[in-house]
Amino acid sequence: MPRPTVAHLESGQSNPTLAVVSKLARSLGVTLDGLIEPARSEVRVLEAGELRVERRGKAKRTHLVPEGAGMVAERIELRPGGSCSLEAARGSMSLLACERGELVLSEGEQRAVLKPERAALVWGTVQCSSPGGGIGYCIGGLPSL
């Protein structure tokens, strides 16, 4: 499709025929309906009862993405002395971001401390603990770098 034709269509200076609109839709790889329908936005609020919450000892994990979505996103709240295990699936990684307090990641001899506005990439399984309490967000199932 010639550039001037597209420019005239975008600026509203032209009244295209059905053949031109059809050709434009084909060149953009969309259906004719997809080209002329207004873009749709949708927001669905997930209520507290729809989110799975796990409590174990001093750890609370709230799953932010419904099961079966193909990824894991959760809010992790650790009371002082609390801990939980974080596990990235084989071939993927997890991202853990600290919102509040201090999160300590450990695996064997390796240890990393996360403070607010810091994040860590995790491969495999690590223990996450918080001596004074902390809150973090974990997103799992990310493609490994």
Residue count (the chain): 145
Q: Give residues with Cβ within 8 angstroms of 8, minimum separation 6.
A: 14
* pLDDT tens digits along 61-120: 999 987 777 778 999 999 999 999 998 888 889 999 999 999 999 998 999 999 999 999
What average pLDDT is seen over the chain? 88
Do 127 and 78 meet the contact criterion of CB atoms below 8 Å apart? no
- The predicted pLDDT at position 83 comes to 96
For the chain, the structural domain boundaries read 3-36, 48-143
pLDDT at 6 over 90: no
- The predicted pLDDT at position 96 comes to 95
Give Cα 136 to chain centroid, integer Å: 14
Do 107 and 121 meet the contact criterion of CB atoms below 8 Å apart? no
Give domain 48-143's CATH superfamily.
Answer: Jelly Rolls (2.60.120.10)
Between CA 139 and CA 74 the distance in angstroms is 7
Q: Give residues with Cβ within 8 angstroms of 123, minimum separation 6.
A: 88, 93, 144
